[in-house]
Amino acid sequence: MNDPNGLVYFQGRWHLFYQYYDRADVDGMQWGHAVSADLFHWQYLPPAIRPDQHGQIWSGSAVVDHHDSSGLFGGKAGIVCLFTYWDKADHRQCQGMAYSADGSHFQTYAGNPVIPQLRRLAGHPDEKDFRDPKVFWHAPTARWVMAVAGGKLRIFTSDDLIHWEFASVAEDLQTECPDLFAVPVDGDAGQTKWVLSGGGRWYMVGRFDGRRFTPESDRIPMIHGPDYYATQTWSDAPGGRRIGIAWLFSWTYGCAATTMHKGFPITPWAGNSQTVPVEFSLVSTHDGIRLKQQVVGEFDQITRPLLQLEPRELAPTTANPLAALAATPLDIRLNFRPPASGRFVLRLLSGATRTHVLRYDAAKQMLSFDRTQAGFNHVQNFPGIYDMPLPPDSHGRVALRILLDYGSVEIFGNDGAAAMSVYILPAPDAGGPVLAAKDGVFQIESLTVRSLI
């Protein structure tokens, strides 16, 4: 499993398609498929879109064709998926389409590709990087819009999801796995800005007129940490919510998601998984308009309380306040007031041979995740220390939410103003979390822990 694809809400179910490689087929890249009623309990369905004569099925998106603009559903609503075909002969890319009336059985469009390779488009250069279509309905112009990247960001428009007209190219905006969506600022539906996501690693805030995205900010980090990519958001989420998810791994370790590399284990629950779903919002800050990402509220329905502590000090002599906890998947929420200088550490899933360390440095106002003692230092790009700036808020407080799973740590700072995602390899003798001050005295205002199972 890698990139999430075709995220769409249809007939009461959340659909998650994803890049799925069938090891039994050398040309097997296709769309896997799972559905959920609550975003957390997933039912796997058979792969939805398989390779055909045009090539492998690479990343893309899906929409609900509510009014049958495509003419494929007999006047009813259905799902239309737009994806990239990859030609193994020359590695050039084009865009294809598949559709489903029931959300379970998919048929590729007989007239594929709906947008040919760039060398087949009049007036376009022969560039092979042309992939990952993100499609959405643009109400002001009453047209479907497709943002395609892999290289330069190109915009196409359509009346029927089948016939596409070129609208613009942004020569200075290059990414892959793009997403482009509108979000109210500070919850005000009358003040909306557009967000362009660059594969989930960065984003830009700006304007979109139906044909061209105009940035109004520089590139801003969307995530800190190494293991987060190909972020996509759901189409047609109830209540207009903007909910996203990403692949929780990285290609930089020199291994594929389906193999072991130099003894580096790719477990069933990590390296082949997605992040926790988050809800995006835009807020005004002293630095400008910024994106926040918070764990979706549905998450609280699947956890149970384990520990709740009263306010207290955390000093170098303080006993571990988390000593009663076992090394089970945890949702840790820690709110504190840092001193002018001082450091604390939180050790996670550590044993005699491996340890993962989360540190907060009050003087630097920096949260860091240390994977240099986690083992597997021979694997390229795996050992490292990953920093996330996290200053206190206007009230002098820092809020941390830490989701500790079997093979990952996801961290949200100050109600989603900053986030980090890290793949981990627990020690065989891993114990419970250890929270300790190295120096300085931290005022803990609240500390609660819930179990994820």
Residues with a catalytic annotation lie at 3
Structure tokens at 169: 């190219």
Spatial separation of the C-alpha atoms in residues 96 and 148, rounded to whole Å? 12
Spatial separation of the C-alpha atoms in residues 33 and 48, rounded to whole Å? 6
Q: 3-state class of 177 per DSSP?
A: coil
- Which residues, other chains included, contact 340 with Cβ-Cβ below 8 Å and sequence gap of 6+? 362, 363
CA Rg value for the chain: 23
Spatial separation of the C-alpha atoms in residues 298 and 314, rounded to whole Å? 32
Structure tokens at 122: 């009049």
**DSSP state string for 413-436:** ETTTTEEEEEE----TT----EEE
Q: What angle do CA 132, 253, 259 make, to 5 degrees?
A: 85
The answer to whether the bond into 140 is cis (omega within 30° of 0) is no
Amino acid (one-letter) located at 32: G
Contact 373, 355 (CB under 8 A): yes
The order of strands in the sheet holding 164-174 is 131-138, 143-149, 152-158, 164-174
**DSSP state string for 249-304:** --GGGS--TTS-BTTB---TTSSS-BPPPEEEEEEEETTEEEEEEEE-GGGGGG-E
440 dihedral zone (left: phi>0; alpha: psi -120 to 50; beta): left
Other Cβ atoms within 10 Å of 171 Cβ, number: 7
What is the length of the chain?
Answer: 453
Structure tokens at 71: 């003419």
Spatial separation of the C-alpha atoms in residues 401 and 284, rounded to whole Å? 22
Q: Which one, of 9, 5, 31, lies nearest residue 103 by Cα?
A: 9
Phi, psi of 329 (to 5 degrees): -60, 130
